[in-house]
Amino acid sequence: MKKNITLINWGLVTVAAVATCLNEYNLIAIPESVLLVLRWLAIAGLLAYAFVKQSLTTSIIVAMVVGTEIGYDYPEVATNLRFLRQIFLRMIKTIIAPLLFATLVAGIAGHSDLKQVGRMGWKSLLYFEVVTTIALFIGLFFANFFQPGAGLTAPASFSGELPKVEAQTWQDIILHIFPENLAKSIYNGEVLQVVIFSVLFGVSLALLPAAKKQKFVNGVELLAEVMFKFTKLVMLFAPIGVGAAIAETVGHMGIDVLSNLAMLLVTLYCALLAFILLVLVPVALFVRVPIIKFAKNIAEPVSIAFATTSSEAALPKAMEKMEQFGVPRQIVSFVMPTGYSFNLDGSTLYLSLATIFVAQAAGIDFPIGQQIGMVFLLMLTSKGVAGIPRATLVILLGAVASFGLPEWPVLLIMGIDELMDMARTSVNVIGNCLATTVIGRWEGELDDAKMQASDRIVEEDVVEEILEH
């Protein structure tokens, strides 16, 4: 049955793709109504395949295809689907704080190894700083090599508004790390502030006598298990939320937005691909991580990040997957959320590339000495990005203002920022997932047997479990 559905599905997809290509290149004139029917027949086949496959990864990928088609064929309908994406993101945000608190406190107080917390802290920061600095220089190289901003001219008028950016000192950036009010930090989605509070709480709990602390540790361990079950429930809605996010993007932007800024988009995607191949893959091989198994494990959180343009949306699933991959929970729960402020590889690479693009578009000579100075500035300011959609735009405006560059090229970038955000957010998630395995190996706690068997683990059927209860 499954084999027949797969064959029929691939046949429908092939027919739709061939017909579209023949019409696009004017080889055979095919009515648009016929092409529409062929495309939706192919999508019907994909939906049937996803239903039979019963895999979240497959469902998300199919949802992205369906969303793209809805956005292309019915843009007005697609833009009205935004509320579905917002429902998914809101549900994810309810998970973040209790999940981080429970896993960090249980990991620190449950093991009573306070020295490990300190070790993981300096090892993580060292790794983050090295990798993000390399990302900045790769962005710098690709911007100078491809010169995506050369030849652009300022448009006669603008339609849009740039966010207001207040100048921040290095003291402000450091102060922002520490929570003023836990409820306020949770409400504003300040992941790093929640991490700082949870670490201090866990250390304080670990200092109590064993008889007193164990009751609370048992409670937070139970809370962690509940939140992972909560994540599985919310992930049932992920294909709908992801499909709506893609539909909204395509319906809102259309295809014409790519014409003027295609070079910038191509440059960014090439630079991010180069970063993965030249930095992340060698690091994975060095710490003896099987690339294919790692890629299979992170497929779901990366696809969620790509569609929603939010690293935060992928965090609960990424934590679950890396624990499944053989990284101990206390390492995953510390390294990954910390990386959301200190290890956003895709965003830092984009920032250096986009800043040079602004200078090129404005026709301003930006000597290599100033570019190096810009890298060091971005090393600091990029740590203020909290993993929320398009937060890098604010950091970019701050960098532009610091070097006396005009703002109008940034307004041009906003036209395709969603497409760029998809790629850089995906790389952020890949980089943070890999960081947990690096620190796990560095700590000597990476479970190789579990890692090798990770692609054979069958996901729990949450729907069936609910019906049983």
- Structure tokens that stand for 16 in this block: 């739709």
Share of the chain above pLDDT 90, in %: 23
Report the CATH number that the domain containing residue 436 is assigned in CATH: 1.10.3860.10
pTM (2 d.p.): 0.82
In a domain, 81, yes or no: no
> CA dist 359 to 147, 149, 281, 353, 354, Å?
10, 8, 32, 10, 9
Last residue of a domain, one of 33, 53, 73: 53
Question: Is pLDDT at 18 greater than 60 in this prediction?
Answer: yes
In a domain, 93, yes or no: no
Task: Residue 131: name the closest of 371, 392, 423, 438 by CA.
Answer: 438
> CA dist 371 to 3, 274, 375, 384, 469, Å?
55, 20, 6, 20, 61
**140, 47: one domain:** no
What value, to the nearest 5°, has the Cα angle with vertex 431 and ends 425 and 432? Answer: 95
Q: What is the pLDDT of residues 357-368, one digit of tens each?
A: 988 888 888 888
Q: What is the pLDDT of residues 75-107, one digit of tens each?
A: 888 888 888 888 988 898 888 889 889 888 888
* Burial classification of residue 140, based on how many CB atoms lie within 10 Å of its CB (0-12 exposed, 13-18 middle, 19 or more buried): buried
Task: Residue 96: name the closest of 176, 188, 201 by CA.
Answer: 188
What value, to the nearest 5°, has the Cα angle with vertex 123 and ends 119 and 129? Answer: 150
**462, 338: one domain:** yes
Give the Cα separation of 408 and 157 in Å (integer). 10
Task: Residue 435: name the closest of 323, 304, 335 by CA.
Answer: 335
**444, 343: one domain:** yes
Mean pLDDT rounded to a whole number for the chain: 82
Give the Cα separation of 353 and 148 in Å (integer). 9
Last residue of a domain, one of 30, 53, 76: 53
Question: Is pLDDT at 386 greater than 90 in this prediction?
Answer: no
In a domain, 44, yes or no: yes
**277, 130: one domain:** yes
What value, to the nearest 5°, has the Cα angle with vertex 52 and ends 51 and 58? Answer: 65
**119, 41: one domain:** no
In a domain, 122, yes or no: yes
**38, 120: one domain:** no
Domain that holds residue 44: 2-53
In a domain, 235, yes or no: no
State whether residue 158 is helix, strand or coil. Answer: coil
Whether the CB-CB separation of 223 and 109 falls below 8 Å is answered with no
How many structural domains are present in the chain? Answer: 2
Last residue of a domain, one of 10, 31, 53: 53
Phi, psi (5° rounding) for residue 74? -130, 70
Unique residue bearing structure tokens 């866990």: 202
Share of the chain above pLDDT 70, in %: 85
- Structure tokens that stand for 469 in this block: 């209860």
Give the Cα separation of 118 and 202 in Å (integer). 13
In a domain, 236, yes or no: no
Question: Is pLDDT at 256 greater than 60 in this prediction?
Answer: no
- Concatenating the DSSP letter of every residue in 238-301 gives HHHHHHHHHHHHHHHHTTTTHHHHHHHHHHHHHHHHHHIIIIIHHHHHHTT--HHHHHHHHHHH
Phi, psi (5° rounding) for residue 180? -95, -35
Unique residue bearing structure tokens 């578009």: 361
The answer to which of 19-23, 140-144, 231-235, 416-420 has the lowest mean pLDDT is: 19-23
**49, 137: one domain:** no
**157, 277: one domain:** yes
**pLDDT-derived band of residue 322, with 50, 70 and 90 as boundaries?**
very high
**284, 149: one domain:** yes
Phi, psi (5° rounding) for residue 35? -60, -40
- Residue 4 pLDDT: 65
Question: Is pLDDT at 325 greater than 60 in this prediction?
Answer: yes
> CA dist 68 to 61, 202, 446, Å?
11, 45, 39
**pLDDT-derived band of residue 416, with 50, 70 and 90 as boundaries?**
confident
User: What is the CB neighbour count within 10 angstroms for residue 137?
Assistant: 14
- Structure tokens that stand for 260 in this block: 């003027």
Which residues, at least 6 apart from 456, have a Cβ–Cβ distance to it below 8 Å?
none
In a domain, 211, yes or no: no
**279, 158: one domain:** yes
- Residue 65 pLDDT: 85
Unique residue bearing structure tokens 């969303």: 67
Question: Is pLDDT at 170 greater than 80 in this prediction?
Answer: no
**17, 155: one domain:** no
In a domain, 166, yes or no: yes
**34, 128: one domain:** no
